């Protein structure tokens, strides 16, 4: 990188130049600042102040945590499969099968939370783009492309919603969908947004915002659990404890027609009791009764057949 303004400070007596492009925090530990922030109030305050000023952790080596301005992240990418649109990144997968004479279709995947170990990784990609349903494209109708959008904000993302440090995130996500659809000649009613948990939150919200079909699995509507865990998503300063009000506000300002389906488990009430409040003709909640599902994190892996069935049904125009 050329003309990079670099600033270095120590974790115990931090003094930070917020005009720097990159900030290095000497943690004096093999643990990165994100890991240390989970258990120490002072380190939490330091870490969240970096988030507030729009820095993201991207590297940790030799007891130093490296942060970079979010808008400059593209300068440190080495992955060639990540495509950039404005300040957001995505991948594009070609159809597994092509049928002549049929129109192109598109499924947009919104990333769920990473595995627990990766949620405190110093690698941005490991934190912000979890590869849900890796074989998805093989189970979709012919001519169906798949894009996976990165939740590139804060720590592990901001549920693809605007934040004070990234007020144009929603616009950037919508632009990716519209641009890819235009380039591939995909009609808006041949687009399905898909997500599980955190990704379900983003997929449902953006399907309302842009009037697309959506299939989502137990979307996060309640952040209570993560607040109790000490703000483990590092989003407490940006969103209310319950996200229901954000969805109600957005649907009142959008022209919504295309169907959205939520797969939920009534016995797992954490989020279910929130999104069930959205009573709309275009929204269906599919209840799953399975004694083996006892918590939120199990719902996605136990409903894979239902997921692909509803996605293909929407692409066929049957739902």
pLDDT per residue as tens digits for the range 170-194: 999 999 999 999 999 999 999 999 9
Same domain (yes/no): 66, 171:
no
Residue 149's CB is within 10 A of a number of other CB atoms, namely: 28
- pTM (predicted TM-score): 0.94
- Is residue 1 domain-resident? no
In a shared domain, residues 66 and 134: no
Same domain, 199 and 264: yes
Residue 27 in any domain: the answer is yes
Cβ atoms 54, 71 nearer than 8 A: yes
- Which residue do the tokens 């594009």 mark? 92
Report residue 154 CA to chain centroid gap: 11
Single residue among 70, 103, 125 that ends a domain in this structure:
70
CATH number for the domain that contains residue 242? 3.40.50.1820
Mean pLDDT for the stretch of residues 304-317:
97
Q: What is the per-residue pLDDT across 280-302, written as a single tens digit (0 to 9) for each? A: 999 999 999 999 999 999 999 99
The Cα–Cα gap between 312 and 319 comes to: 9
Residue 134, φ and ψ in degrees, nearest 5: -55, -35
Its domain, for residue 35, covers: 6-70
Q: Which helix (H) or strand (E) holds 90?
A: strand 88-93
- Distances from the Cα of 271 to the Cα of 22, 206, 291, angstroms: 38, 18, 18
Interatomic CA distance for residues 146 and 92, integer angstroms:
6
């Amino acid at each position: 990188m050329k003309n990079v303004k670099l600033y270095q400070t120590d974790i115990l007596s931090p003094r930070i130049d917020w005009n720097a492009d990159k900030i290095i925090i000497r943690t004096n530990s093999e643990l990165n600042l994100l890991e240390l922030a989970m258990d120490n109030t002072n380190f939490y305050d330091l870490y969240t102040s970096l988030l507030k000023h729009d820095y993201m952790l991207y590297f940790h080596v030799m007891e130093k945590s490296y942060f970079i301005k979010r808008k400059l992240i593209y300068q440190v990418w080495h992955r060639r499969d990540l495509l950039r649109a404005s300040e957001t990144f995505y991948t594009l997968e070609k159809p597994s099968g092509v049928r002549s004479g049929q129109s192109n279709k598109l499924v947009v995947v919104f990333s769920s939370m990473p595995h627990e170990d990766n949620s405190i990784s110093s690698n941005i990609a490991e934190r912000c783009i979890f590869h849900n349903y890796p074989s998805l494209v093989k189970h979709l109708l012919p001519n169906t492309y798949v894009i996976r959008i990165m939740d590139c904000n804060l720590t592990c993302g901001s549920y693809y919603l605007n934040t004070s440090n990234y007020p144009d995130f929603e616009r950037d996500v919508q632009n990716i969908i519209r641009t890819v659809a235009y380039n591939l000649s995909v009609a808006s009613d041949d687009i399905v947004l898909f997500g599980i948990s955190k990704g379900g939150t983003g997929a449902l919200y953006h399907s309302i915002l842009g009037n697309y079909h959506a299939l989502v699995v137990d979307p996060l509507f309640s952040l209570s659990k993560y607040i109790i865990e000490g703000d483990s998503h590092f989003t407490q300063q940006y969103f209310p404890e319950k996200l229901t009000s954000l969805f109600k506000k957005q649907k009142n300002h959008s022209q919504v027609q295309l169907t959205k389906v939520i797969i939920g488990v009534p016995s797992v009430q954490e989020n279910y009791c929130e999104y069930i409040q959205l009573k709309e003709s275009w929204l269906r909640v599919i209840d799953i009764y399975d004694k083996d599902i006892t918590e939120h994190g199990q719902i996605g892996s136990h409903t894979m057949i239902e997921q692909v069935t509803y996605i293909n049904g929407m692409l066929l125009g049957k739902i």
